[in-house]
Structure 1
Amino acid sequence: MNEVWTGLRTDLEGGWEVISMGGPAIWAIAALSVITLALILWKAWRLALLGAWNGGRRTRRAVEQWGAGQETEALALVEGRRSCRARLVRAAMRARRDFDDAAAQAETERVARALLARARTGLRPLELIATIAPLLGLLGTVLGMIAAFQALQEAGSRADPAALAGGIWEALLTTAAGMAVAIPASMALTWFESVADRLRHEMEDAATRIFLRPLAVEPISQAA
């Protein structure tokens, strides 16, 4: 057990030494890596709350019942459901029954825009991190190379190639760190965008199917 703790402590000390070699840029990239991980976990949790992973079987069944003329049963299926599909379908069904076609479509579009905005919340910060992390790494590399060549100039004919090589790899460390943060951020961004696009397509399809079927009852606005 002592050997394990000793090895872990050695690894941590080595990691801190590597971070300290990169200068301010590597600290900024390390902070971005923590923010990226937090954003990915938070976004996955938010999408889970919006029902992105549940498949929407209940919502599809509600739309099928609506298409069969079972409006009350269809509304009961999505009543109280928190997924974005169920919320949109519930809003479309209620708007379809309570308003005329133009007003119902406007209300459904309003709800759909709000739900899609919630589904895409947090994507812009991930996009920003995927963009600036490599730039921070490049900035750290440029600053490190400048320092290395300044040291080489000051050393003159007594310059040590090994010291120059050490300065160069320390400078390149920030570029590698920036790419290590940008790659998972870009992958997560692409994945979350694909999930949001799939949700948008499914919501549009459900709303269209609801509006295509004529109502079995007269809208309240007309009955009034």
Structure 2
Amino acid sequence: MIATLRDAILHIADLGGPVVLLLGALSVLVLAVILYKLWQFTVVGVGRHKALRQAIHAWDTGDRTTARRYLGQSHSYLVPVVTMAIDGQNDPARLEAEAEMRFARLESGFRLLESVAQLAPLLGLFGTVLGMISAFQALQEAGAQVDPSILAGGIWVALLTTAVGLAVAMPTSVVLSWLEARMDGDRVLAQSALRTILSPEGRASGVMPAAEPVHA
């Protein structure tokens, strides 16, 4: 099996050159990062905040007991931040910093995916340019007895690197956009939750409003 894998790698190297090998290595790295991010998002519950939303709504209407009960049922990674706000932390900057720390941990690896999405087509184009140079050198060495198959073969091999580069870049860009959209949605939810908790519309259940002074 190792010998078969080695032969396949050597065949790819002969066909597309080192650029294709580099793009293949990047594709393996990207796949590993994507699988890890999907597992991480599933574990921490990115995008799954039903109980947390119910807790925020209950707090906004003044039902503190129900809000805490829903908060205890939630498995969202934003629960510690919301709990801080409910327990009396009223500094918006501190709460937003706590939320951003959690977002930063979940967004680790995004820069790598973005770099690969931008770099892979350029690497493919670079391989194509190198392949075209080799093809025209072979055409020049052929002299007057030019065989069109030499040029055609060199061109399709050269264009192969561009195709591989695009094949790596396009799915990476799509997955990255989806991951970023999930995080953007959670960031909006966190901001809305903190503002709602710090400035709820309703009053706590059982608390009577203060009497307004009577002016003569």
2:55 is matched by which residue type in structure 1?
Answer: A
Separation in structure 1 between the aligned mates of residue 15 and residue 164 of structure 2, nearest angstrom: 12
Out of 135, 141, 149, the position equivalent to 2:128 is 141
Cα pair 1:49 1:83 within 8 Å, conserved: no
1:59 is matched by which residue type in structure 2?
Answer: L
**Residues 209 and 73 of structure 1, relative CA distance in 2, 3 Å threshold:** same
Matched, 1:110 2:97: yes
Bigger proportion of residues as helix: 1
Separation in structure 2 between the aligned mates of residue 31 and residue 108 of structure 1, nearest angstrom: 40
Separation in structure 1 between the aligned mates of residue 76 and residue 165 of structure 2, nearest angstrom: 36
**Residues 122 and 82 of structure 1, relative CA distance in 2, 3 Å threshold:** farther
Unaligned runs of 5+ in 2: 205-216
Separation in structure 1 between the aligned mates of residue 97 and residue 75 of structure 2, nearest angstrom: 17
**2:68 matched residue in structure 1:** 75
TM-score (normalizing by structure 2): 0.82
Cα pair 2:12 2:20 within 8 Å, conserved: no
Query: Which stretches of structure 1, 4 residues or more, deviate above 6 A after TM superposition?
Result: 12-16
Matched, 1:125 2:112: yes
2:154 is matched by which residue type in structure 1?
Answer: G
TM-score (normalizing by structure 1): 0.80
Cα pair 1:85 1:202 within 8 Å, conserved: no
Separation in structure 2 between the aligned mates of residue 194 and residue 169 of structure 1, nearest angstrom: 37
1:181-192 aligned within 5 A: 181-192=168-179
Separation in structure 2 between the aligned mates of residue 173 and residue 15 of structure 1, nearest angstrom: 15
Separation in structure 2 between the aligned mates of residue 113 and residue 53 of structure 1, nearest angstrom: 16
1:25-64 aligned within 5 A: 25-54=19-48, 56-64=49-57
| RMSD, aligned CA | 2.5
1:40-80: CA deviation from partner (whole Å, max 9, x where unpaired): 111111222231142x1110121123234443553353348
Cα pair 1:81 1:87 within 8 Å, conserved: no
Separation in structure 2 between the aligned mates of residue 71 and residue 108 of structure 1, nearest angstrom: 20
Unaligned runs of 5+ in 1: 1-8, 217-224
Cα pair 1:25 1:140 within 8 Å, conserved: yes
Separation in structure 1 between the aligned mates of residue 23 and residue 70 of structure 2, nearest angstrom: 48
Identity level (%): 42
**1:200 matched residue in structure 2:** 187
Separation in structure 2 between the aligned mates of residue 168 and residue 133 of structure 1, nearest angstrom: 19
